[in-house]
């Protein structure tokens, strides 16, 4: 899940940029934008919608958001607005016992585009960073709280309506309402509709593609939480493997650094250069036995006991169910330092244990330490509202002319990057498409050295979110690339990422790298110059 303490739009975000990818400013004449916004709020008459407020917000305003009602853990206390806009906050009833909180940010300098943001984890948090990012680029943007507040799954208990909103209804409702608001405010309908989301937001994007193929013309989906019930089973299964401190298989966080070093020793050079980044972790067949302690060695900070070696091997092994079918692929090697903080050495993972407690069993006393593959089968069989999002037939979206830009960081410590190719190949098999045919509407990029939606050791600044913007060039900005593909037919062959020194743009560029379109992978052909994108070839 992505949490930020504040929303600060970089100064590099102009409204219009080169090559005509963004429309020029539309000729909307708001002689008094503030009054126009107030009039919109007073005139909205959409079924099940109650307007909380409609405020004109001038550029430069630092918005503060309530931290009450369970929202403090969302991590969005404020947002710096960079474009004059009309901010509309609404209550939208989705059933007789549930509702969503929805916001629309309608920039005065509109480009004719509509965009919906997604969510993260199990959260009921509006992604204000994404609203600020996209509204600042002239998109009429909406975001919702997914039918509940806060970052836990407690609201799922005994309320299938909350689960349904979380699965898809919140997002689709926001799209329907948001498009109507856009038309009412600007006096004309949007030209193109887009989606941006990562993690749970990535799953929501694919769920829209599968269930509401007319909602979007372009979908930017990152690190998607696909096969969602099975993802929660996979996330849960690490706790019984490693246990708590004192358990024979427990590995303390500092020792995971030694595991990481050994993984790099075995696998970093597979791509042609030793640079601290594994380009294609699927090729890494890590052998943890290399870390086996010598006889008589105990309490080592550099080696593992036999029990610990077995646990590490289990973590890097695909998880299979009671019927022998794949539940979820293994954790990809390379992410273990961060994964030790999330899964391996930090007890039960709250998002996945909450799913079992409140959505699967409706039992807050369920103990994640008792998890077995029988629990996985129960979760998979339930699959409420098809939240698995595992339908390989997305032909309706294709036939409508839609485009998907799918990316996944290869250092993702929360959702294994090895699940995304499984879904891509499911689509290929289901629809009978080879790679060239898939390329016409669906392209998938593996971002080496990128963590969960952001961060990592690699060239992870790709413009997928506010914190990862380095430029407005579509080659280096996946949001603008999906726009360029939809509107100008310029499909991406590679995605160029940037790595800044200490991940700080003010300190300069450390290196850039072109990330390959799946199923191709990156190989270094000029190791002496590996920081140059020209030193790499997609094969």
Q: List, as one string, the DSSP characters of 245-298.
A: TTSTT---HHHHHHHHHHHHHHHGGGGSS-SS--S-GGG----GGGGBPPTT--
Active-site residue flag, 350: no
For 9-48, b/e burial (b = at least 16 CB within 10 A) is beeebebebeeebbbeeeeeeeeebeebbbebbeebeeee
Q: How far is the C-alpha of 435 from the C-alpha of 63, rounded, in Å?
A: 45
Name residues whose C-beta falls within 8 Å of residue 514's C-beta, 6 or more positions apart in sequence: 494, 495, 496, 522, 533, 536, 538
Active-site residue flag, 199: yes
Q: How far is the C-alpha of 535 from the C-alpha of 539, rounded, in Å?
A: 13
Q: How far is the C-alpha of 374 from the C-alpha of 73, rounded, in Å?
A: 32
Active-site position among 165, 412, 457, 484: 412
The burial class, CB within 10 Å (0-12 / 13-18 / 19+), for 396 is: middle
Joined together, the tokens standing for residue 116 give: 């919906």
The 8-class DSSP code of residue 150 comes to B
Active-site position among 452, 470, 484, 515: 452
Active-site position among 83, 199, 233, 353: 199
Active-site residue flag, 412: yes
Q: How far is the C-alpha of 426 from the C-alpha of 383, rounded, in Å?
A: 18
Joined together, the tokens standing for residue 480 give: 């603008």
Q: List, as one string, the DSSP characters of 171-199.
A: HHHHHHHHHHHHHHHHSS--SEEEEEEET
Catalytic residues: 199, 412, 452
């Amino acid at each position: 899940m992505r949490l930020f303490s504040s929303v600060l739009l970089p100064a590099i975000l102009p409204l219009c940029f080169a090559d005509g990818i963004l429309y020029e400013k539309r000729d909307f004449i708001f002689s008094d934008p503030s009054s126009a916004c107030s009039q919109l709020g007073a005139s909205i008459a959409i079924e099940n919608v109650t307007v909380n407020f409609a405020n004109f917000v001038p550029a430069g305003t630092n918005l503060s958001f309530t931290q009450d009602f369970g929202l403090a853990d969302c991590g969005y206390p404020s947002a710096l607005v960079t474009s004059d806009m009309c901010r509309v906050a609404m209550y939208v009833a989705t059933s007789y016992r549930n509702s969503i909180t929805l916001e629309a940010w309608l920039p005065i300098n509109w480009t004719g585009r509509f965009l919906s943001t997604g969510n993260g984890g199990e959260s009921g948090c509006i992604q204000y960073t994404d609203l600020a990012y996209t509204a600042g680029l002239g998109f009429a943007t909406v975001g919702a709280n997914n039918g509940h507040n806060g970052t836990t799954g407690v609201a799922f208990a005994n309320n299938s309506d909350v689960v349904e909103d979380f699965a898809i209804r919140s997002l689709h409702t926001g799209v329907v309402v948001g498009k109507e608001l856009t038309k009412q405010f600007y006096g004309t309908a949007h030209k193109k509709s887009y989606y941006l989301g990562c993690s749970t937001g990535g799953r929501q994007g694919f769920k829209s593609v599968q269930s509401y193929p007319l909602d979007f013309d372009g979908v930017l989906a990152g690190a998607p939480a696909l096969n969602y019930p099975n993802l929660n089973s996979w996330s849960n299964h690490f706790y019984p493997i490693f246990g708590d401190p004192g358990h024979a298989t427990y590995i303390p966080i500092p020792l995971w650094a030694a595991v990481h070093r050994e993984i790099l020793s075995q696998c970093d050079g597979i791509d042609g250069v030793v640079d601290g980044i594994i380009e294609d972790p699927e090729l890494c067949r890590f052998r943890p036995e290399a870390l086996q302690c010598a006889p008589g060695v105990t309490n080592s900070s550099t080696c593992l006991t036999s029990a610990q070696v077995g646990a590490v091997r289990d973590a890097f092994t695909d998880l299979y169910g009671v019927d022998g079918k794949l539940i979820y692929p293994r954790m990809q090697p390379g992410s273990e330092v961060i994964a030790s903080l999330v899964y391996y050495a930090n007890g039960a993972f709250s998002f996945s244990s909450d799913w079992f407690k409140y959505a699967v069993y409706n039992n807050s006393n369920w103990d994640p330490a008792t998890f077995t593959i029988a629990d996985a089968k129960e979760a998979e069989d339930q699959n409420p509202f098809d939240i698995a999002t595992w339908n390989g037939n997305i032909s309706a979206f294709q036939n409508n002319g839609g485009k998907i830009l799918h990316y996944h960081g290869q250092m993702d410590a929360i959702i294994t990057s090895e699940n995304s190719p499984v879904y891509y190949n499911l689509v290929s098999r289901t629809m009978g498409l080879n790679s060239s045919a898939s390329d016409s509407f669906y392209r998938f990029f593996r971002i080496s050295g990128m963590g969960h939606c952001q961060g990592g050791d690699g060239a992870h600044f790709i413009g997928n979110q506010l914190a990862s913007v380095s430029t407005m060039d579509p080659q280096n900005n996946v949001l603008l690339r999906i726009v360029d593909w939809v509107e100008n037919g310029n499909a991406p062959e590679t995605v160029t990422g940037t790595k800044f020194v200490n991940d700080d743009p003010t300190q300069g560029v450390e290196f850039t790298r072109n990330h390959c379109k799946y199923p191709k992978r990156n190989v270094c052909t000029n190791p002496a110059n590996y920081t140059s994108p020209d030193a790499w070839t997609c094969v």
